[in-house]
């Protein structure tokens, strides 16, 4: 979590990342029960496959945004996907922590961190004694950049993805490409065998890759980068798309719950991007604006066009992640005018992408799904002002108190690291002192449970020797990887976060972090919706059944029955 916060702080304070079936209109007033069940895929239709699969993941999208902004969306973006596709309205993550790296990995592997091994965005590596970033690979080099961010690959992911299995099933003839502003959001979905993954280097304002995929950028990528679109997008102030008094779904623009960047005195519109660039790290700032989504959309269209995706005899797969909502959410929170404006503009970007796919490949030849890698809680300070229980965790104080307790009890801190709400103990020291590891773990757990912000604590011994079937303990177990996770796992109270007093973060087992939208659209998808519970790990299993290919090799999800029955 501290890595995520430091990255965000850097970026924002060092930078401000055919035929159409009969439609049933779904509106915010639809009942909270199943509206319709999709017609099952028939044997005849299952014999053919889509020309292209497009996976769209929106970073930090809450389920309720669909309804909150419904009346202001156009007809060709989110509304089109809902009105013409199948909306799984009760889709949840089934593990913690709900972060970007594990989220994208779980969608595409069909399993949880317990199996695929991406336990966080970064974690303490017990084999090296250093922090390991989820997409870090020191054995590769950047292509199109000399920055350290080029040293990236999927090497730390332990299982195959749906994209890997599609590639293998076509005898490596399918074209598999992942794109995003964030490297991990492009790399992990594309899998181990991808033709390419491209991500954004804000230090030069270009899309880059690594030698894991290729020796040099394709000519079309070089030409795209030469357009200098980030400069163009950031050449004018960020004003609201609509008159600001129409943003009635958000709190007042000027409020105390939002981050104030360098060069601003208030977190209000307009945000003078040309001036702010000079003070906040230049082209990296596009990540924290809606124009990061537009840049991603522009690049997605160029990928499809220049790589001739969907034009061969086999199914291709494009994994697209829109990263900017996460940066904006971290800075301003879910009730901000900034986040609302971001989603209204993203709606237009989606509409443009869907229209291009219609023209280039055809709706009936393209299978699209849209979901999110996690959601987000309310800003705790805002909840506290509403007299709702919430608060801020100071992890440094927690770990300092724990270390003092352990020194007093055992003569040594015995702690190697505290990251992602996990305590990593010094096993060698415990052994040298002839202590019993499980007893030390239980002592740590008992002490942490006395902290006012802590709701629950589980030891690795408990997780290894028990099987939970529901609640937060179940989610903690699904996020626990025996080789990579810590000795003691901590869960905070609802509404409590370890973060700045402005903006928000994510990572908990509570519904505000786990409940995300999931929409299937296009090839062989009938219009409808359901409120039956679906887990995010079911996405890859469902796609595998639709495409008649092997499940990813670690898949624990189940096909969504009303889509593939």
Q: What is the pLDDT of residues 407-448, one digit of tens each?
A: 999 999 999 999 999 999 999 999 999 999 999 999 999 999
- Give the model's confidence band at 43: pLDDT under 50 very low, under 70 low, under 90 confident, else very high: very low
pLDDT above 90 (res 19):
no
How many Cβ atoms are within 10 Å of 31's Cβ, its own excluded?
7
Q: In the prediction, which pLDDT does 326 show?
A: 98
Average pLDDT value for residue range 355-381: 98
Confidence of residue 281 (pLDDT cuts 50, 70, 90): confident
**pLDDT at site 8:** 39
- At residue 565, the pLDDT reads 76
Residue 18 has pLDDT above 50, yes or no: no
**pTM score above 0.85:** yes
- Same fold across 2-382+510-564 and 394-452+454-492: no
Which tens digit of pLDDT belongs to each residue from 98-156?
999 999 999 999 999 999 999 999 999 999 999 999 999 999 999 999 999 999 999 99
Q: What is the pLDDT of residue 522?
A: 97
- Report the SS3 class of residue 392: strand
Measured between alpha carbons, how far is 315 from 171 in angstroms, rounded to an integer? 11
pLDDT of 15 strictly over 80: no
The per-residue pLDDT for range 221-268, each reduced to its tens digit, is: 999 999 999 999 999 999 999 999 999 999 999 999 999 999 999 999
3-state class (DSSP) for residue 271: strand
* pLDDT, position 172: 98
Cα(467)–Cα(458) distance, rounded to whole angstroms?
12
- Name the average pLDDT for the chain: 93
CATH of domain 394-452+454-492: 3.30.1360.150
Percentage of the chain exceeding pLDDT 90: 91
Average of per-residue pLDDT across 17-36: 38
Angle at 66 between CA 60 and CA 67, to 5 degrees: 130
Which CATH number among 3.30.300.30, 3.20.20.140, 3.40.720.10, 3.40.449.10 corresponds to the domain 2-382+510-564?
3.40.720.10
C-beta of residue 292 within 8 angstroms of C-beta of residue 181: yes
Closest by alpha carbon to 530, among 544, 540, 542, 520? 520
Q: How confident is the model at residue 35 (pLDDT cuts 50, 70, 90)?
A: very low
* Residue 326, CA atoms < 13 Å, CB-side half-sphere: 31
The span from the CA of 352 to the CA of 301, in Å, is 9
462 is annotated as an active-site residue: no
- CA–CA gap between residue 364 and residue 357 (Å, rounded): 10
Residues 6+ apart with CB under 8 A from 511: 92
pLDDT of the residue at 39? 43
Q: CB of 188 within 8 A of CB of 170?
A: no
Catalytic residue among 91, 98, 100, 160: 100
Alpha helices in 268-394 (DSSP H): 273-279, 291-306, 324-332, 337-360, 380-385
pLDDT at 22: 34
Domain boundaries, the chain: 2-382+510-564, 394-452+454-492
Closest residue by Cα to residue 398 from 379, 381, 382, 422: 422
Q: What is the pLDDT of residue 23?
A: 36
């Amino acid at each position: 979590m501290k890595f995520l916060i430091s990255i965000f702080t850097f970026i924002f304070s060092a930078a401000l990342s055919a035929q159409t079936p009969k439609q049933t209109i779904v509106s915010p007033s639809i009942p909270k029960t199943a509206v319709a069940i999709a017609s099952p895929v028939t044997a005849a239709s299952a014999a053919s496959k889509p020309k292209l699969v497009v996976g769209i993941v929106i970073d930090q999208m809450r389920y309720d945004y669909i309804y909150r902004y419904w009346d202001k969306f156009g007809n060709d973006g989110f509304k089109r996907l809902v009105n013409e596709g199948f909306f799984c309205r009760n889709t949840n993550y089934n593990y913690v922590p709900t972060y970007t790296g594990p989220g994208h990995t779980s969608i595409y592997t069909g399993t949880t961190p317990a199996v695929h091994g991406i336990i966080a965005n970064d974690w303490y590596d017990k084999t090296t004694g250093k922090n390991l970033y989820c997409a870090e690979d020191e054995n590769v080099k950047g292509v199109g950049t000399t920055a350290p961010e080029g040293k990236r690959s999927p090497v730390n992911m332990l299982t195959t993805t749906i994209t890997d299995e599609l590639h293998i099933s076509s005898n490596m003839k399918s074209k598999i490409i992942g794109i995003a502003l964030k490297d991990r959001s492009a790399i992990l979905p594309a899998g181990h065998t991808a033709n390419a993954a491209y991500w954004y280097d804000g230090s030069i304002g270009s899309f880059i890759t690594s030698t894991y995929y290729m020796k040099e950028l394709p000519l079309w990528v070089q030409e795209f980068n030469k357009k200098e679109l980030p400069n163009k997008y950031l050449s004018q102030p960020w004003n609201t798309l609509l008159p600001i008094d129409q943003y009635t779904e958000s709190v007042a623009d000027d409020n105390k719950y939002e981050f104030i960047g360098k060069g601003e005195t208030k977190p209000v519109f307009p945000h003078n991007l040309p001036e702010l660039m000079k003070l906040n790290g230049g082209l990296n700032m596009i990540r924290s604006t809606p124009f990061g989504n537009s840049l991603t959309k522009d690049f997605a269209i160029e990928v499809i066009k220049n790589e001739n995706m969907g034009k061969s005899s086999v199914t291709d797969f494009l994994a697209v992640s829109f990263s900017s909502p996460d940066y904006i959410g971290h800075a301003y929170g879910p009730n901000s005018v900034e986040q609302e404006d971001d989603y209204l503009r993203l709606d237009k970007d989606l509409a443009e992408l869907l229209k291009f796919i219609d023209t280039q490949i055809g709706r009936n030849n393209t299978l699209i799904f849209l979901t999110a890698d996690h959601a987000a809680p309310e800003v705790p300070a805002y909840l506290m002002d509403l007299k709702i229980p919430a608060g801020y965790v100071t992890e440094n104080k927690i770990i300092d108190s724990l270390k003092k307790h352990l020194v007093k009890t055992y003569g040594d801190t015995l702690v190697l690291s505290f990251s992602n709400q996990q305590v990593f103990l010094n096993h060698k020291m415990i052994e040298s002192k002839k202590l019993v590891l499980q007893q030390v773990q239980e002592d740590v757990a008992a002490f942490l449970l006395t902290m006012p912000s802590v709701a629950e604590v589980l030891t690795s011994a408990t997780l290894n020797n028990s099987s939970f079937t529901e609640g937060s303990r179940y989610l903690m177990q699904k996020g626990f990887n025996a080789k990579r996770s810590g000795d003691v796992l901590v869960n905070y109270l609802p509404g409590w976060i370890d973060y700045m007093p402005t903006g928000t973060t994510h990572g908990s087992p509570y519904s505000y972090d786990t409940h995300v939208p999931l929409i299937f659209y296009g090839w062989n998808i009938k219009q409808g919706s359901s409120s039956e519970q679906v887990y995010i790990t079911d996405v890859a299993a469902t796609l595998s059944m639709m495409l008649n290919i092997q499940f990813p090799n670690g898949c624990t999800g189940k096909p969504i029955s009303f889509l593939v029955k």
